[in-house]
Structure 1
């Protein structure tokens, strides 16, 4: 997969992250990088005063640095800014950071040497992934703390994930025959002054959310069969007159999943209307798809954006300190995705309640094989309710918060990395809720008769039963939830 700085898509990123595609660099764009680098070298040689090249950083931007110390300036920057704390980002997120940073620098506006981009790509292809603590970014001036831990690895410092181990970067580089890089003027700042931590986390979260959203509809279709749901609510005409494309497509998929089922009913056959958690699946899930489409658009813009500072234009004739490092577009997108995915869990939990509550259906109470002696799925619903409640606290928007930093020079920040991290956690919680719905739905359709299911749902049921066996006796259901959750993530 070739990167150009301008054309990276989520499909490309997926191939690098999960299919381990080899990354190459567009040579024509390296020429733009070389031009930008010559401009930086000229600025240093002529002692022009340019932020981040021969000045301090943040509140120290007015402090001029002697030409003899510009390399030390970059080293000090990375060391002092490597203040990340907490558990590391998942390894796949670290891999995404390398890819996104390389792609951004390849645009040619950052003033780095080609070797910096080449080394980032070499790390990807050698599967050397920096250990990057999750906490410590304010999401403006970029992801300074997280990306500093990434930059350490290029210098042979810090830690990496490599061949299933967490080891010193210097050791991994040596095993791959790579020498540490000494950062030159502007390069440390170019590596850390960007939004690649929040965007990488956002990309991984989005890819998981998209997959989960599709699975949520198939699970919901099985629930409809388990409850003898009314198929009329998914009639195409109903959704066309509302006009939302995502709602129309969701209803279309629901009709396809349930085509040929003898477990669905028509209006008035058993009841006139279903509850909203069944009847309004296209409206609710469709609205979440609207958000995911929005998030996808913003991520694909940001993945191909120049987000450091200053930016170098016209072969160095114009060097501007701007604010492209500010993560507000991604912060808002991540907060929006948090709400959208949390809603998939909210409506799923209500469907779980309808599957287990004997006051709401004609199935055995709590789907128990021996009601009373055995509790069946009673506490499965408790766990789902707990996860949904936790999601509601995580869904509080991070982007509405801002704490000034760097002596009030950086007086408004995005908290976008927090938003992305919380979005990812909501996705993990939601997958568990949907796993619980799947377990309950499979049990319900067994009582109805699996021979009466549609071809698509029956195939899904049969695959699911390979993971979670039928409930014929109370057992430790947390193990079933874990297995179903892992299957939904990886299948």
Structure 2
């Protein structure tokens, strides 16, 4: 029987390997091209600088937009947020002698964010998303503003952006005010690992803080860059988790003396969801060569047997999440838009972050289900009533020391706590719209809260994955120790060796916190997934079957 046809969204790009290789060699070009999630991740992880496009046509279009706006204002036109007040105050005319002062006022009164500051990777992702949106050419900003945003990235001038205070429409106003403030030389930034005043950093770099043109404060702040930048990071980390969940399922199958037949290709041809077929193919490859004689049970428990069906939901979700996140990333999402070609100013609502909100609400639910799946597999491994002969709590202690050793008992308890918290956070943020700003912003997306929630669910799930990884490798070692004839397929043996090199076999109880933290970090940044010899995440699904056959 041939492998299931894993056809799907042909626009899915060769995600990790190709762009990481390119990013290590050259900058991500901004302007006149479509940006991928992986571009943002490369910038955020400091693997790639940015460079503005050298295309003269693109640069001329940016300049035409700013020039048209200047002429439009000089002709006496009224433009929202340029010579009017903001939001509900759009009915307030701003005298021409105050128009140039208005952008700075906007950045200042929005300086009221609270909560934890975004970390360095999140901050870089936000700036990259804002820069790419303004480079679309419909925001009426000058090229020098784009250059200053590129400077923030390339010189690692990182605004301190509080994570709380955005309702996701009219864009991420309050958090993005901290990016705008850095551009004009106000508030604090991180530079060379030290907290500095922004003005002093620009002076050190022989640049003057920028005086914003009339629309540039609004262009910087009135958009979806915070939620979109965070969504790019969430996508990449969720992608890693789906791949790790398949490997841990295979590892658990061997450790539990389970059945590889549950992942037969015909089963997934009979229910043709591409994501679950993809997950099953990965598990099947990891179990290749395993003799599938009936073990302790004719059918393994659901958390093993149905793992591709659980993981497959997340895999399929990632395909449309990519579509929506990359559409938002490659959009002009401020207001008003300035069209340099037709010379029109268009007042609309592209700052509304509904697509990101729904994508993040959905993704966090799919990821929380991965946490639940891995936690259930871990619970089977540690329980001598269900683990088919492994020691209680996976203790590796000798018989004389067994009474005082408890192995992975507490790890399983912690994993259960992390899972419960992840599941608790799956309440959708997008349904909690609040009417704000004198009922001008009376329907808002909550996209930034959804993205933050999604990242928290992912963080908790990565901790569960780390706990499960240590336990599953311990269980495999115990299975081989007690049943020397156990066949461990090469991918799983190599993976176990890699994990054991960092966290040795637990033959006597010890604190595992540092092991868990180190492994969680490798899961989060993709290092553990990148170590898989057969990883092909992001290849168009119609190519995967043949490609997998060639590489395996």
State the match for 1:113 in structure 2.
142
State the match for 1:102 in structure 2.
131
Q: Distance in 1 between matches of 2:47 and 2:517?
A: 26
Q: Distance in 1 between matches of 2:303 and 2:295?
A: 19
The counterpart of 2:489, out of the listed 454, 469, 473, is 454
Task: Give the alignment of 1:287-306 within 5 angstroms.
Answer: 287-306=313-332
CA contact (8 A) 1:260 1:455 kept: no
Worse-matched range after superposition: 448-457 or 417-426: 448-457
CA contact (8 A) 2:44 2:120 kept: no
The counterpart of 2:453, out of the listed 414, 422, 429, is 422
Cα displacement string for residues 181-236 of structure 1 (whole angstroms, at most 9, x for unaligned residues): 00111110011000000001111111122122212211221111110111011100
State the match for 2:441 in structure 1.
410
Task: Give the alignment of 1:56-71 within 5 angstroms.
Answer: 56-71=85-100
1:328–1:132 Cα change, 3 Å: same
Unaligned runs of 5+ in 1: none
SS at match of 1:385: helix
Q: Please report the TM-score for the alignment, with normalisation by the length of structure 1.
A: 0.96
Q: How many residues align?
A: 488
CA contact (8 A) 2:68 2:340 kept: no
Q: Distance in 2 between matches of 1:419 and 1:372?
A: 47
State the match for 1:238 in structure 2.
267
Give the superposition deviation at 1:315.
4.3
State the match for 1:463 in structure 2.
498
The counterpart of 1:138, out of the listed 154, 167, 178, is 167
SS at match of 2:100: helix
Give the superposition deviation at 1:19.
4.9
Runs of 4+ in 1 over 4 A off after TM superposition: none
SS at match of 1:372: helix
State the match for 2:364 in structure 1.
338
Worse-matched range after superposition: 59-68 or 2-11: 2-11
Give the superposition deviation at 1:437.
0.8
SS at match of 1:139: coil
CA contact (8 A) 1:75 1:183 kept: yes
Q: Distance in 2 between matches of 1:222 and 1:488?
A: 16
Q: Distance in 2 between matches of 1:146 and 1:335?
A: 20
CA contact (8 A) 2:371 2:464 kept: yes
State the match for 1:210 in structure 2.
239
Give the superposition deviation at 1:15.
2.7
Give the superposition deviation at 1:371.
4.2
Task: Give the alignment of 1:88-99 within 5 angstroms.
Answer: 88-99=117-128
Q: Distance in 2 between matches of 1:358 and 1:77?
A: 63
State the match for 1:16 in structure 2.
43
The counterpart of 2:412, out of the listed 371, 381, 390, is 381
SS at match of 1:319: strand
Q: Distance in 1 between matches of 2:512 and 2:137?
A: 54
Q: Distance in 1 between matches of 2:67 and 2:350?
A: 22
Worse-matched range after superposition: 214-223 or 350-359: 214-223
State the match for 1:309 in structure 2.
335
Cα displacement string for residues 340-395 of structure 1 (whole angstroms, at most 9, x for unaligned residues): 11111000000011001111122111112254321111111110110111011211
SS at match of 2:508: coil
Q: Distance in 2 between matches of 1:489 and 1:420?
A: 16
Q: Distance in 1 between matches of 2:324 and 2:186?
A: 33
The counterpart of 1:349, out of the listed 362, 366, 375, is 375
CA contact (8 A) 1:47 1:67 kept: no
State the match for 1:281 in structure 2.
307
State the match for 2:345 in structure 1.
319
Q: Distance in 2 between matches of 1:328 and 1:436?
A: 35
Give the superposition deviation at 1:314.
5.0
1:49–1:19 Cα change, 3 Å: closer
Give the superposition deviation at 1:271.
1.5
SS at match of 2:429: coil
Q: Distance in 1 between matches of 2:113 and 2:290?
A: 53
The counterpart of 2:474, out of the listed 437, 443, 448, is 443
Give the superposition deviation at 1:465.
0.4
Cα displacement string for residues 46-79 of structure 1 (whole angstroms, at most 9, x for unaligned residues): 2211211100000100101111111111110110
Task: Give the alignment of 1:116-127 within 5 angstroms.
Answer: 116-127=145-156
**Residue 80 (structure 1) aligned with residue 113 (structure 2):** no
Cα displacement string for residues 104-137 of structure 1 (whole angstroms, at most 9, x for unaligned residues): 1111111111110111112211121211110000
Q: Distance in 1 between matches of 2:45 and 2:245?
A: 22
RMSD over aligned CA atoms reads 1.5
State the match for 1:169 in structure 2.
198
Give the superposition deviation at 1:2.
1.3
State the match for 1:7 in structure 2.
34
State the match for 2:430 in structure 1.
399
Q: Distance in 2 between matches of 1:102 and 1:372?
A: 61
State the match for 1:195 in structure 2.
224
Give the superposition deviation at 1:484.
2.4
Task: Give the alignment of 1:241-252 within 5 angstroms.
Answer: 241-252=270-281
CA contact (8 A) 2:334 2:351 kept: yes
Q: Distance in 2 between matches of 1:5 and 1:85?
A: 36
Q: Please report the TM-score for the alignment, with normalisation by the length of structure 2.
A: 0.86
Q: Distance in 2 between matches of 1:168 and 1:358?
A: 59
Give the superposition deviation at 1:488.
2.5
